[in-house]
């Protein structure tokens, strides 16, 4: 039994702009072998990868042909269904590739692509409309942390994202302090727990107590094999969104085996 009770922990690997479709096939195959060799119990953890769009069809074919116990999703989705939106990918297309998840509002999209809370809310609605589970990312910058403290910005971002979401919607929330992403300076487990607990209250206010009890809240930002156990011991942290370390099979496999680390 994990500290997350009935919520199935999710270890999610966000590849960002790494690995083409041929590399993706080799990677997912090796990851599956590594998890199998380590006798990972997939009733106790869900492992998901988030490759670039151009890899998804290859990953789908492999996962389905070999019946691999690995979920996958996209790193972004258009808020639009169809039409004159050059470069965009709709939720319907992702669903047709049997994606389970889609990351929404990652800080790199918010910063580099100027996606505000309105776009994040529209993309969340688009994902849900097409039967995808949105992994809604929220987090404060170092400046926000200094000015507003740790919870204010993530709470405001999640409140905005959930404004029009139905109470029975299946969502995942990822708390990713911007200062911890790719910096090697992860939040402490206590910091992650403090914000995750607040975010669970936000889910309760927006969607009700049942949704709050069922929703998985991940921590992201410099998660590694040597710090995952501390996060997973926290009652409100139900998994991790992993960037850099998700590109190293041994490391990502070790993170997915967090149960085997002391006391978890
Ligand atoms: P990181 O990235 O694990 O490399 O810090 C996390 C993320 O951006 O989701």
Dump pLDDT digits (tens) for 117-162.
999 999 999 999 999 999 999 999 999 999 999 899 999 999 999 9
Atom number of ligand 1 nearest to Cα 184:
5
Helix H segments across 38-84? 53-65
As for ligand 1, residues whose beta carbon falls within 6 Å of it are 14, 176, 181-182, 220-223, 241-245
Atom number of ligand 1 nearest to Cα 241:
9
Domain boundaries, the chain: 10-261
Q: Token pair for residue 131? A: 């039967």
Separation of alpha carbons 242 and 84, rounded Å: 33
Closest CA to 178 of 161, 198, 162, 154: 154
Separation of alpha carbons 155 and 194, rounded Å: 12
- Pair type for strands 172-175 and 216-220: parallel
- Per-residue pLDDT for 189 more than 60? yes
Instruction: Specify the DSSP class assigned to residue 19.
Output: -
Q: Is 106 a catalytic site residue?
A: yes
- Per-residue pLDDT for 216 more than 80? yes
Q: How many CB atoms lie within 10 A of CB 195?
A: 26
- Per-residue pLDDT for 1 more than 90? no
- State if pTM tops 0.75: yes
Q: What is the pLDDT of residue 260?
A: 82
Atom number of ligand 1 nearest to Cα 103:
9
For the structural domain made of 10-261, what CATH number should be given?
3.20.20.70
Separation of alpha carbons 7 and 9, rounded Å: 6
Instruction: Specify the DSSP class assigned to residue 93.
Output: H
Q: Is 205 a catalytic site residue?
A: no
- Per-residue pLDDT for 262 more than 70? no
Separation of alpha carbons 45 and 43, rounded Å: 6
pLDDT digits (tens, 9 = 90+) for 48-67: 999 999 999 999 999 999 99
pLDDT digits (tens, 9 = 90+) for 13-39: 999 999 999 999 999 999 999 999 999
Confidence grade of residue 5 (pLDDT, cut at 50, 70, 90): low
Q: Whose CA is nearest to atom 3 of ligand 1?
A: 243
């Amino acid at each position: 039994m994990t500290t997350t009770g009935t919520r199935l922990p999710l270890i999610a690997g966000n590849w960002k702009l790494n690995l083409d479709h041929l590399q993706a096939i080799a990677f997912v195959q090796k990851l599956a072998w590594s998890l199998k060799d380590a006798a990972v119990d997939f009733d106790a953890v869900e492992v998901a990868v988030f490759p670039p769009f151009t890899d998804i069809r290859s990953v789908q074919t492999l996962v389905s042909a070999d019946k691999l116990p690995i979920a996958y999703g996209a790193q972004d989705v258009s808020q639009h269904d169809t039409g004159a939106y050059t470069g965009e990918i709709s939720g319907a297309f992702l669903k047709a590739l049997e994606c389970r998840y889609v990351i929404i509002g990652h800080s790199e999209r918010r910063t580099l692509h100027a996606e505000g809370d309105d776009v994040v809310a529209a993309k969340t609605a688009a994902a849900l409309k097409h039967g995808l589970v949105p992994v809604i990312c929220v987090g404060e910058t170092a400046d926000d942390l200094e000015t507003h403290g740790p919870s204010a910005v993530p709470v405001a971002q999640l409140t905005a994202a959930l404004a029009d979401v139905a109470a029975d919607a299946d969502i995942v929330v990822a708390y990713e302090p911007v200062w911890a992403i790719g910096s090697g300076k992860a939040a402490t487990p206590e910091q992650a727990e403090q914000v995750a607990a607040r975010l669970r209250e936000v889910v309760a206010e927006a969607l009700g107590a049942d949704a709050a009890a069922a929703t998985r809240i991940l921590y992201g930002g410099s998660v590694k094999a040597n710090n995952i156990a501390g996060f997973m011991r926290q009652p409100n942290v139900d998994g991790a969104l992993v960037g850099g370390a998700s590109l190293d099979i041994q490391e990502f496999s070790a993170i997915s085996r967090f149960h085997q680390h002391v006391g978890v």
